[in-house]
A and B are shown apart, each in its own frame.
Chain A
Amino acid sequence: MNETETISENKVPSSLTQVGITMKYTFLDYFRSRRFFILLIITLIVSAILTVLVGYYRPQSFLGDPTFDATTRELTFYSSWWGRSVPFVIILGGIFFGGDAISGEFQNKTGYFGVPNPIRRSSIYIGKWLSAFIAATIIFAIFAAITIGNGLYYFDANIPIQFGQSLLYAWFYLAAVMGFTFFFSSLFKSSSMSILVTAILFLFVFSLIELLVSTLVNVEPWFILTYGAGIIGNILNPQGFPDHVQHSLVRPGARLTITSYNAYVPEGLVIIGVYFIITAILGLILFERKEFT
């Protein structure tokens, strides 16, 4: 560099601009990463298997009873294809892109590159969150596009309004899942630990608690995120939105009944929204306070 040059005073951009800068470059990193490619391949394989199986066997569980009306059959298709699968696509997106987003800054030492600059930690956190959300949204959108493509093939351009609603709820759920995974990622300094704990929580613990609380104690599991996310599939139920409380016999003729709950749509949205807000704030506070020791 020119030795005679004077020291320049660069104008540090606003925190909002810095959020955008962080988002742009971390998204680029996500987009080129092996994990993005792996999740894309998983999504394409699952979609391909569904496409081939439904196309070859034409099961009624997917295409509906031919004697039923068109709307019921369409809802059956979207409920089976989208309603059952998309929560897993979302959870995988959260784990893949959010699981170690913050813990990796400590364990991989990438934080030492970005943090000692004139930038608030909150700008880094929000920028990273947005980039992870966008990366997961791309996978989510690809799965939605394949679902719609198959729906158009079987039912022409008759996409039920409920699918649009379910799509929006699912996208909102993705935001909450990403908030939650970022929160857990902020809790740990080990990337593998944060990914593992998040995966176990979403894939086993939440479902188990939901089942135990509702069946054994007859308490509505309103405090579980996956319970609120039930609206994604329930809105597509061909028989209409299920009752809030359902009792069913353990087996035909038995005395013992099982109670299950279904969140109302507003209730589900509130649960998802509260999870998103609380985990986002807690994760941010944790990252602000965490030390690079």
Chain B
Amino acid sequence: MTDPIIEAVNLSKRYGSFAAVSNLNLKIEGSKCVGFLGPNGAGKTTTLKMFTDLIRPSAGEALINGVNVHTQKKKALALVAALIETPEIYPSLTPREALMMIAEIRGVPNTERKKRIEEAVSEVRLEEWLDKRVGKFSKGMKQRICIASALLSDPTILLLDEPTNGLDPRGMNEVRGIVKSLKTKKRLIFMSSHILSEVSEVCDEVAMIDHGKLIVYDTISNVTAKFTGGENIVEVELQRPIDSELTIKKIAAIPGIITAEKKDDKNLAIRFSGGSDAQEKILSGLVKMNIGVISYRPASSELEDAYLKLITSTL
């Protein structure tokens, strides 16, 4: 089987004079998870909708495995599962029936349908609700059923539009776990999200879009290295007030630290370079100084810094 590919070729969507997506050229190829980032109204959902024939492009093409989604939808989406916005399910159906409908539409073999539905529902932890009517479900539960429907046909491409939207923290964590587990198979996952930590945790690459235009598409490590200069900040909370400026100078002398600033008597902001190894050494150095460290956490992620720099530059 060849590598899965999704490709936007001069893809544009206009609503009157407003360009929701403007000449987007993006080719994602291979088994990986790509985060699709951008502020509200940047064109993320519009792009994903054009890849699922929910809306038509004003110009250009949305191609999946080289097939135009708009003109040959059945062929293009045969190996694609999508979760766009928060879909509703016919309220009088049970999850089993709704999933059976999708399984039949997608051509899941008759002998496998029951097993696959039970597996998919088990994955989203809704086994007890399998035969209850969907009309009584919460938004989060419906979202889980929709995620289960995306897993049913064992797709090679998954298009996910903010898949953790509407879920409680536990549900969000579970969905991230599901997405990570899907990465182990030969799949291309293209996932939009507002939650940068989620993208950092789950994705290998990132595409950023703003005002309907692609700003950057690269691996997360390349994007963060390029746009943050490899610098990070950790916030340190102490049990006791810092006694003197001398202590601050000693902290700043720990290898890897660029600057150390006192935010107040018990809080410091430490700017450092390097990855998690440097972070570990700095924490170790602080503990050895016996200054009463009780909390040590990143002020922001590298991806968040890169995102803010990129998006701010396009305002």
Shortest distance between the CB of A125 and any CB in chain B (Å): 14
Instruction: Name the prevailing secondary structure of the B interface residues.
Output: loop
- Report whether B97 and A109 are in contact in the complex, using a CB–CB cutoff of 8 Å: no
Chain B, interface residues (CB within 8 Å), range: 35 or more
- Report whether B105 and A21 are in contact in the complex, using a CB–CB cutoff of 8 Å: yes
Shortest distance between the CB of B208 and any CB in chain A (Å): 23
B residues 151-192 touching A (CB-CB < 8 Å): 151, 153-156, 159, 181, 184-187
A13 to B85, CA, bound (A): 26
Q: Does A120 reach chain B (CB closer than 8 Å)?
A: yes
- Report whether B53 and A10 are in contact in the complex, using a CB–CB cutoff of 8 Å: no
> Which B residues are in CB contact (< 8 Å) with A31?
92
- Report whether A113 and B88 are in contact in the complex, using a CB–CB cutoff of 8 Å: yes
Which of A1-9, A155-163, A229-237, A250-258 lies on the face that meets chain B? A1-9
- Report whether B123 and A116 are in contact in the complex, using a CB–CB cutoff of 8 Å: no
- Report whether A10 and B108 are in contact in the complex, using a CB–CB cutoff of 8 Å: yes
Shortest distance between the CB of A68 and any CB in chain B (Å): 49
A112 to B161, CA, bound (A): 11
Which of B75-83, B237-245, B249-257 lies on the face that meets chain A? B75-83
A33 to B93, CA, bound (A): 10
Q: Does A71 reach chain B (CB closer than 8 Å)?
A: no
Instruction: State which of A21, A30, A116 has its C-beta within 8 Å of the C-beta of B52.
Output: A116
> Which A residues are in CB contact (< 8 Å) with B149?
113
A residues 1-48 touching B (CB-CB < 8 Å): 1, 3, 5-13, 15, 18, 21-22, 24-26, 28-33
Q: Does B86 reach chain A (CB closer than 8 Å)?
A: yes
For A30, give the chain B residue with the smallest CB separation. Answer: B92
Q: A120 and B73 in contact (CB under 8 A), knowing A25-B90, A113-B98?
A: yes
> Which B residues are in CB contact (< 8 Å) with A8?
153-154
- Report whether B78 and A12 are in contact in the complex, using a CB–CB cutoff of 8 Å: yes
Q: Does A293 reach chain B (CB closer than 8 Å)?
A: yes
A residues 113-142 touching B (CB-CB < 8 Å): 113-121
Q: Does B266 reach chain A (CB closer than 8 Å)?
A: no
Q: Does B104 reach chain A (CB closer than 8 Å)?
A: yes
> Which B residues are in CB contact (< 8 Å) with A113?
87-90, 98, 102, 146, 149
- Report whether B185 and A5 are in contact in the complex, using a CB–CB cutoff of 8 Å: yes
> Which B residues are in CB contact (< 8 Å) with A118?
73-78, 80, 105-106
For B46, give the chain A residue with the smallest CB separation. Answer: A293
Instruction: State which of A7, A28, A112, A117 has its C-beta within 8 Å of the C-beta of B105.
Output: A117
Q: A28 and B78 in contact (CB under 8 A), knowing A1-B119, A291-B56?
A: no
Q: Does A223 reach chain B (CB closer than 8 Å)?
A: no
> Which B residues are in CB contact (< 8 Å) with A292?
49, 54-55, 84
Contact with B along A180-205 (1 / 0, CB 8 A): 00000000000000000000000000
For A17, give the chain B residue with the smallest CB separation. Answer: B104
> Which A residues are in CB contact (< 8 Å) with B274?
none
Q: Does A108 reach chain B (CB closer than 8 Å)?
A: yes
- Report whether A29 and B92 are in contact in the complex, using a CB–CB cutoff of 8 Å: yes
For B48, give the chain A residue with the smallest CB separation. Answer: A116
> Which A residues are in CB contact (< 8 Å) with B75?
118
Shortest distance between the CB of A15 and any CB in chain B (Å): 8
Instruction: State which of A3, A15, A29, A291 has its C-beta within 8 Å of the C-beta of B185.
Output: A3
- Report whether A25 and B101 are in contact in the complex, using a CB–CB cutoff of 8 Å: yes
Shortest distance between the CB of A21 and any CB in chain B (Å): 5
Q: A32 and B92 in contact (CB under 8 A), knowing A3-B185, A118-B74?
A: yes
- Report whether B1 and A112 are in contact in the complex, using a CB–CB cutoff of 8 Å: no
For B181, give the chain A residue with the smallest CB separation. Answer: A3
> Which A residues are in CB contact (< 8 Å) with B106?
10, 12, 117-118
Give 24 A-B contacts (CB < 8 Å), ordered by A residue.
A1-B120, A3-B185, A7-B79, A7-B156, A7-B185, A10-B109, A13-B104, A29-B93, A30-B92, A109-B85, A110-B89, A112-B54, A112-B88, A113-B149, A114-B101, A115-B52, A117-B77, A118-B73, A121-B53, A289-B56, A291-B54, A291-B56, A292-B49, A292-B84
Which A-B residue pairs are the 3 nearest by beta carbons? Answer: A112-B87, A116-B52, A32-B92
Chain A contact residues, CB within 8 Å of chain B: 1, 3, 5-13, 15, 18, 21-22, 24-26, 28-33, 108-121, 289, 291-293
Contacts A1-B154, A292-B84 known; 13 new A-B pairs at CB < 8 A: A11-B107, A22-B105, A25-B100, A29-B91, A33-B91, A33-B92, A110-B88, A113-B149, A116-B159, A118-B77, A120-B74, A289-B56, A293-B55
